[in-house]
Amino acid sequence: MKEPRPDSPFHAIRAIDYSVIFVRDMTAMRRFYEDVLRFSLTRELSPNWIEYRVGANTLALATPGRTATDAPTPKGSASLQLAFKVSAPDVDRCAAELVRQGIDLLSPPTDQRFGHRTLFFRDPDGNLLEVFAEI
């Protein structure tokens, strides 16, 4: 991996502070992240910008146009993948809860050769979500 040059101002970056998901259907996405994943609402700056605290990071849902003029991602196209780290037993517990909530699993809990136990599913906008544990 190439290190940033010592004289680069980007060398000061130490973490990703927040991530923004540009949504097509704010109502469905908000229901999913609050009612299914049970993320606690941190703040709602407007109906077009909602924030959740996930560990040390902020996950924001925003409609396009709030910070950029990009068009919404076309239906059927995932625009990102998020991976949420949990303990190994919690991967299975999360899978069971998703199924209980009526969420289709793309891949059930699976032990991967690279040392992770993974679970894959999608949010209402089609973004790929992963719950994983190091094993």
The predicted structure's pLDDT at residue 11: 78
Instruction: State the average pLDDT over residues 28-48.
Output: 96
> To the nearest whole percent, how much of the chain has pLDDT over 90?
67
d(CA 59, CA 42): 9
Candidate CATH numbers 3.10.180.10, 3.40.1280.10, 3.40.50.300, 3.40.50.920; the one for domain 9-134: 3.10.180.10
- 95 has a pLDDT exceeding 80: yes
Instruction: State the average pLDDT over residues 86-104.
Output: 96
The predicted structure's pLDDT at residue 91: 96
Burial class (CB in 10 A: 0-12, 13-18, 19+), 40: exposed
Q: Which pTM value belongs to this model? A: 0.83
